[in-house]
């Protein structure tokens, strides 16, 4: 497993705006996963993108993956106050299904 590094560390936007957060990793992966954590709660899986995919959508979420640059981005469109949370990426090398999480991006969506 390897650690994904999220950027920026914190992001503050207004409701209705789009939020983009980025993830970089170091070695080859089988897939990359994004999780959300509401304050003090458990992580919730959002989306998984496989190494042979370049883009994936789920509702207001759009994830891209560039394996040549070892990077991924998560776009949340038309943000809502309920999207306020920390977001983590987790590269999965496929070895023992161990995921290593970075420190996350803290997203604050204000009314």
Partner 1 sequence: DADVTQTPRNRITKTGKRIMLECSQTKGHDRMYWYRQDPGLGLRLIYYSFDVKDINKGEISDGYSVSRQAQAKFSLSLESAIPNQTALYFCATSDPTRTGGVQYFGAGTRLSVL
* Site residues, partner 1 (CB under 8 A): 1, 3, 30-31, 33, 40-45, 48, 50, 88, 90, 92, 94, 96-104
| Residue 50 neighbours by CB under 8 Å, 6+ apart | 30, 31
DSSP, res 56:
E
Nearer to partner 1, 39 or 111 (CB): 39
Nearer to partner 1, 25 or 88 (CB): 88
Helices (H) and strands (E) in the chain, counts: 0, 10
Nearer to partner 1, 35 or 84 (CB): 35
Task: Please tell me whether the peptide bond between 8 and the residue prior to it is cis, using omega within 30 degrees of 0.
Answer: yes
């Amino acid at each position: 497993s390897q650690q994904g590094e999220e950027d920026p560390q914190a992001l503050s936007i207004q409701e209705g705006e789009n939020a983009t957060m980025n993830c970089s990793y170091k070695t080859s992966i089988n897939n990359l996963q994004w999780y959300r954590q509401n304050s003090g709660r458990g992580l919730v899986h959002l989306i998984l993108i496989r190494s042979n995919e370049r883009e994936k959508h789920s509702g207001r979420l759009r994830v891209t993956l560039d394996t040549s640059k070892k990077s991924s981005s998560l776009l949340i469109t038309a943000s809502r106050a309920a999207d306020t949370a920390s977001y983590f990426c987790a590269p999965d090398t496929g070895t023992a299904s161990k995921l290593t999480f970075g420190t996350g991006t803290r997203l604050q969506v204000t009314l």
